[in-house]
A and B are shown apart, each in its own frame.
Chain A
Amino acid sequence: MNNTKLTVSHAPFWHDGDSLFQMNLNIMLATLPAVIFGIIQFGAPAVGVLALSLSSAMIWELIMNVISKKKITIGDLDAAVIGLLFGMMLPATAPWWFVITGTFVAVIIGKMIFGGIGANPFNPALLGMAFLMLSWKVFFDFDAAYVNYEFNFTALAPLAALKFQGVSEVAGLFPLGDLIMGKQVGAIGSTFGLGLILGGIYLILRGYIRWEIPVSFIAGIIVTSLCFSMANPDTYAGPAIHLFSGYTLIGAFFLATENSSSPVNQIPMLIYGFFAAVMIILMRNIGAYADGTILAILLLNVVNPLIDAIRPKALGKGVNNA
């Protein structure tokens, strides 16, 4: 009898071939249109911020892996995605220490201390952003950030202008075409609306993000801002400016859809997306912040485990027939 050693494992013996690496690589690919546009618009400093953000996020994870004596996990690109999205939300003029502090909070506090990938209750990139926003508010004044730039369009951050000057003042300053094509002042990766939408649609078609979240998110923005605008058109702006400025679209397609902190059942996903958007408009129209996307999504991250308990009944559960 020969003794050929066989591989023994459990069913199923097939796999569809997908992996974390593939998923994260595709997310990074999908951000490319917006990222490249941001680099063209804001020049070399944008490259610097993005590169530092991405690399420091990966290094923080590596350091944490080494300290906690765990397997090195940066190969799955999860930290890279966090770093990239984080960089996309920063102004191109952010100083180096600012970026590194942010990615530290995002990766170490937002992800690693909860147990790494899959265990984070909040979107890590958003947690890092919220930390920076509350600590150094001045760096998020996009008007001040780009004071040395010369643009061939209105060099005013749309949401800040809306907040502090009122809807009647900004009327006509931000044509819809300009906003969609990225002719606005904002963070590196959040200004090019068309690119973000294309990237988002790519991810939906590839099945890497769940369509229910961005769709209900955008519906929430439109419905809520329309309600406000119809109630008082002199005080509140319509859906167009809310949808295509600030972090709205990057939030809809890349931030709210983060796997670990968002629901997976259909109805909860719709609730989650819609109410995140409602919170954003409430903060923008009534609250103190010019753009509430970061805090709104974080708030819904907290609610996520509760709403995700709404789920269909499994087959044969509680059945006493026959």
Chain B
Amino acid sequence: MIKRSFFTLTKPRLSYDLVEPDPKEPKLIPIPSNLILLLNETVDGTRQALIKQGDAVEKGEKLRLYDDSTEYTISPVTGTLTTIDSYSDDFGSTSTYLVIKNDQGQASQKESITYDLKDDITSADEYLRTLPGAPPLKMLANDDVKISTIVITCADTDLLSTTHQYVTLKFLDEIKEGAQILKRITSVPKLCITVPENLKIQGGFDTIQVFKTSMAYPSNLPAMVLKDHLNIVLPAGQTPEDLGVCFISAEAVVSLARAYKTKSADFEKVMTIIGKQGAQYRVKATIGTPLSKIFKTFSIHINEQDRIIIGGPMKGVATYTPHHPVRPDMDTVILQDRDIIPELSDYPCINCGNCIRICPVNVPVNILVRYLEADQYEEAADKYDLESCIECGLCAYVCTAKIPLYQYIKLGKHELLNLRADV
């Protein structure tokens, strides 16, 4: 954890981590006996599902709940479906989790099913949504969203994470290849790539426009990339997609290139694991592997009241179970010892102004939090710029009163959406 420096006349600087110059091969985690997949759709008890417990599934098989489902997941192994149950995330939205028993041995894992991939986005969206890196194919295939610029992110968005940079260093050629495929299947005219300014890359990116991003957090967040490099100011309450800009991770581009080469899906996700003492491990694990298996491989012991953070320290999500599966978009997992978990308080804002000085987008956090505490979400959005927040988490990081500011803001945005949906 980066602490406040003794002299803080200038605002604290948090820097992104740079990947080590000659990264080692990641450690391959063996495929476990049970894999867990999450499907972004709720089970409807009244309907007959397409899949049921006891079904045999093949490696690469597409699993859907119903005929008209738009959501699907792909089984990474050949095995048996043993459990279908519902799962709810931290904002209460429910999805379905499937447990697949891997009843083939390690060695005898069969080849994946091959797909009939054509050079258009619908065909890619049909099979490749759950590739490692989670390419946003659903959005690209959506006719209502007009995407005119694709930004490939080789710079990691959160602190500590180096997964994107690792992929960039190791698989540069496949990124270029994948970028060409993206261009071909989406016919998006403009392709850009973000690269950390200190990352040394052999060769160039040919026709792709390169944005050298600063090492200071939060310059790699989508809104900041838009502002600094594309000269677009993201209007409050809108997403980059609304402006026709789509962000895709370097790993997703690599996976796309491989998928088009082999006509089948890849399931091995590269991740950065950070242990309690800050030791970094790079692993390659099959999507669906429970995190506890990965920790066990490195003999990292998880105690009661420790915290497992999926994503980085500023924007990540804490999970309540060590069995949380590896997911396509999971770049970093951090294990935090219970002794160093910073405590929060229920103190009111003392108006010290630290959040104002650190906010990269000038949100009046000190006033905003007073409205959010009183559930005045409309007012907070109209007058105090709730929707301008780019969710970097810096305000809560520096808060002297230890108010969970970022949580208040996320909740505020969530409630605001609900309020507007009701109207």
Contact = CB atoms under 8 A, between A and B. Distances in A.
Interface in B323-363: 323, 334, 336, 338, 341-342, 344, 347-354, 356, 360-363
A317 B353 contact: no
B350 A118 contact: yes
A2 B388 CA distance: 42
B232 A322 contact: yes
Given A118-B348, A315-B234, A6 B306 contact: yes
Contacts of B407: 9-11
B347 A117 contact: yes
Interface in A1-44: 1-2, 4-20, 23
Given A211-B9, A322-B243, A11 B315 contact: yes
A163 to B, nearest CB: 35
A7 B350 CA distance: 27
Given A117-B347, A316-B233, A10 B320 contact: no
SS class, residues of chain B in contact with chain A: loop
Interface residues of B, number: 79
A14 B342 contact: yes
A316 B401 contact: no
A5 B305 contact: yes
Interface centre among A17, A76, A322 (most CB of B within 10 A): A322
Contacts of A321: 232-233, 235
Contacts of B6: 206
Q: How large is the interface on A (under 10, 10 to 19, 20 to 34, 35 or more residues)?
A: 35 or more
B213 to A, nearest CB: 17
B359 to A, nearest CB: 8
A55 B192 CA distance: 63
Given A7-B307, A20-B401, A312-B362, A13 B235 contact: no
A23 B402 CA distance: 12
B3 interface: yes
B277 to A, nearest CB: 15
Contacts of B317: 11
Contacts of A320: 235
A116 interface: yes
Given A23-B400, A118-B348, A207-B8, A13 B227 contact: no
Interface string A99-115: 00000000000000001
Interface in A73-118: 76, 115-118
Interface stretch (A131-139, A222-230, A258-266, A275-283): A258-266
A8 B318 contact: yes
B2 interface: yes
A321 to B, nearest CB: 6
Contact of A315 (B233, B341, B364, B397): B233
Contact of B351 (A18, A259, A313): A259
Contacts of B356: 264-265
A117 B348 contact: yes
Nearest to A320: B235
B22 interface: no
A314 interface: yes
A312 B363 CA distance: 9
B112 interface: no
Contact of B401 (A5, A14, A118, A318): A118
B32 interface: no
Nearest to B311: A11
A262 B353 CA distance: 10
A9 to B, nearest CB: 6
B86 to A, nearest CB: 17
Interface of B: 1-4, 6-9, 12, 90, 223, 227, 232-238, 243-244, 302-309, 311, 313-323, 334, 336, 338, 341-342, 344, 347-354, 356, 360-364, 366, 385, 387-388, 390, 393-394, 396-402, 404, 406-407, 410
Given A10-B318, A262-B351, A315-B227, 13 more contacts: A8-B318, A8-B320, A9-B307, A9-B407, A10-B404, A11-B316, A12-B394, A12-B397, A13-B341, A115-B348, A207-B8, A207-B9, A316-B237
23 contacts: A2-B322, A5-B304, A6-B306, A7-B305, A8-B319, A9-B344, A11-B396, A13-B307, A13-B309, A13-B334, A17-B3, A20-B350, A20-B401, A23-B400, A116-B348, A207-B4, A207-B354, A210-B353, A315-B233, A319-B235, A320-B235, A321-B235, A322-B235
